[in-house]
Amino acid sequence: MSRVLVTGASGGLGGGVVAAFADAGWQVAGTSRGEPPEPNAAAPPVHWLRADLADPAGARSAVDGAVAAFGGLDALVCLVGGYHATPIDELSWTDVDRLLQLDLRPTVEAVVAARPALEASGAGAIVTVGAKSALSPGSRMSAYAAAKAGVIAFSAALAAELRPRGVRVNCVLPGTIDTPANREMLPDAKRGTWVDPRQLGELIRFLASPESAPLSGAAIPVG
């Protein structure tokens, strides 16, 4: 049975991703920075790990917990991230650093911690989450776009470095994801092109699975 660690699994996208893996028969470990969701008989089975992924010790603890629970790790999915818009006339390095800490650092720390276990699996996979707006940013997105562009570049470099070691790396670039938080933030938006979390979860599962074995180094726009 394949084993995956999903960082930020308790967030808005996490439910769709966890369900996609669990329904396909994967063992799923998920991280939550705060208290994990309450047990729910209708929810997919998840081995919850409380960890701050921006902290190297937190990332190592999460990976160690998943490996201890499952006996190894076949895939890492990096969902931790967030959005904040700042107009350029109000932008400071504090704003940029906040987005780097939120969107880039947790991915870096999770990958650094999980790499040995993924290499040991013999056919490991990493899936990261960038953003379409990193390629074509809108107004007030300078800090966010820079942080997500960092995720894309980091993922591409990882793909080149880790493929010879048996680990594939791909990055998905969603548009606006249809989450409760985004609906609250954008109540008047037309949601026809928004990305469904479960559909994105299915794509992420595919990228993490042996079905996509020839694919590494891709940055895939979604929505």
Burial category of 190 from C-beta neighbours within 10 Å (exposed 0-12, middle 13-18, buried 19 and up): exposed
Catalytic residue positions, numbered: 144
Q: How many DSSP H helices and E strands does the chain contain?
A: 7, 7
- 167/122 Cα distance (integer angstroms): 8
173, β-bridge pairs? 221
Distance from C-alpha of 15 to C-alpha of 113, rounded to nearest angstrom:
23
Cα angle for residues 50, 97, 110 (degrees, 5° grid): 35
Cα–Cα distance measured from residue 21 to residue 42, given in angstroms and rounded to the nearest whole number = 15
- Let me know if 108 is exposed, middle or buried by CB neighbors in 10 A (0-12, 13-18, 19+): buried
Helix (H) / strand (E) element for 112: namely: helix 105-121
**Token pair 């776009």: residue:** 145
